[in-house]
Amino acid sequence: MSLVIRPIEYNDAKNCGKIGYQAHKTISSAHGYPSEQPSEEFGIELIRSLLENPNSWGVLAERQGKTLGSIFLHKFPPSPVAVIGPLTVHPSAEGGGVGRMLMDAALTQAYEQNYDQIRLVQSPSHIRSFVLYTKCGFTLREPLLLMQGQPLKNINNTSSANFHPVRNDNDVSVCNELCKSVHGFSRELELRQAKDQGVATMIEQDGVVTGYAAGLGILGHAVAKSNEELKALIINASAILGPGFFVPARNHELVNWLFKNAFQIGWPANLMTIGPYQDPVTPFLPSLAY
């Protein structure tokens, strides 16, 4: 029987969420990592929240009415980047090309919407996904580490910079300019969402913005002019949102500093991209998306 790809409806959330949980549990238990999807409820709620997001688009794969897997594509207007994930296939359906069909559907959707920069964060312990993404055209850009630990509010901050929340449109606009200079585009939607949640912070030196964080956590991102500013953003964050935050593993100085401050690695990940990519020119923290 042929495989059917169709849009995910609200009452598919349970099946898709259970598969997401099962697929991640199988991989994480094989490697001894905590699972990215810690419970079935988490997996189901994740699918539900994505279905409610007007910037997310999802399809599932089914055979004879049985759901085998699902995938999502996200936009962050006006960012020129579209992001894929989560992609999950039930372990019993692996090897049947389900992952490839879902990925082809998401890429087609991205291209139809004129996105040429497509990104995702891959779990490197899973060889199948690395192979699948590479065959679909993704290039490995940045090995990442999810760092887990306690907020560092109590350690001595020697920076003389002015640290404060992102408060208004002007703050957003200067942070956007910094992001553009580092990545080539702004991440305004995510920054505004973090500002509205009261978790966006920034640093200024002599009236010039030198770093900002759209929340410190797995869904947050940060850019800074130097590691000193990035450290100050981490030190001044009142909370770590979610299971931790991603750091580029190649940033030896920052990773080593986090180890010295009792942070541990939760799990590794890879930032992979299709299309134009500007190597960030200064230190940054990526989100789970890109």
Ligand X SMILES: CC(C)(COP(=O)(O)OP(=O)(O)OC[C@H]1O[C@@H](n2cnc3c(N)ncnc32)[C@H](O)[C@@H]1OP(=O)(O)O)[C@@H](O)C(=O)NCCC(=O)NCCS
Residues in contact with ligand X by CB under 6 A are 23-24, 27, 87-89, 94-95, 97-100, 122-123, 126-129, 131-132, 135
- Is the torsion defined by CA of 245, 86, 279, 132 positive or negative? positive
Q: Looking at beta carbons only, is 21 or 212 nearer to ligand X? A: 21
C-beta of residue 8 within 8 angstroms of C-beta of residue 56: no
Structure token digits, residue 166: 């992102």
Give how far Cα 290 sits from Cα of 6, 35, 260, Å: 26, 20, 26
Cβ 23 to ligand X, closest distance in Å? 4
Cβ 134 to ligand X, closest distance in Å? 9
Q: Looking at beta carbons only, is 100 or 252 nearer to ligand X? A: 100
Q: How far is it, in rounded angstroms, from Cα 227 to Cα 262?
A: 18
Cβ 135 to ligand X, closest distance in Å? 6
Q: How far is it, in rounded angstroms, from Cα 244 to Cα 145?
A: 10
The alpha carbon of residue 181 and the mean position of all alpha carbons in its chain are separated, in whole angstroms, by 20
Q: Looking at beta carbons only, is 98 or 146 nearer to ligand X? A: 98
Cβ 95 to ligand X, closest distance in Å? 5
Q: Looking at beta carbons only, is 135 or 252 nearer to ligand X? A: 135
Cβ 89 to ligand X, closest distance in Å? 4
For residue 45, the number of C-alpha atoms closer than 13 Å in the C-beta half-sphere is 6
Q: Looking at beta carbons only, is 21 or 57 nearer to ligand X? A: 21
Q: What's phi and psi for 127, nearest 5 deg?
A: -60, -40
Cβ 1 to ligand X, closest distance in Å? 16
Q: Looking at beta carbons only, is 46 or 182 nearer to ligand X? A: 46
Q: Is 120 helix (H, G, I), strand (E, B) or coil?
A: strand
Of 287, 191, 177, 185, nearest to 225 (Cα)? 177
Cβ 33 to ligand X, closest distance in Å? 11
Cβ 43 to ligand X, closest distance in Å? 11
Q: What's phi and psi for 84, nearest 5 deg?
A: -105, 135
Q: Looking at beta carbons only, is 1 or 127 nearer to ligand X? A: 127
Q: Looking at beta carbons only, is 34 or 149 nearer to ligand X? A: 34
Question: What 8-state DSSP symbol labels residue 263?
Answer: -
Q: Is 216 helix (H, G, I), strand (E, B) or coil?
A: coil
Q: How far is it, in rounded angstroms, from Cα 231 to Cα 237?
A: 10
C-beta of residue 121 within 8 angstroms of C-beta of residue 220: no
Task: Read off the amino acid at residue 262.
Answer: A
Q: How far is it, in rounded angstroms, from Cα 221 to Cα 288?
A: 9
Q: Which residue number is nearest to ligand X in terms of Cβ?
A: 99
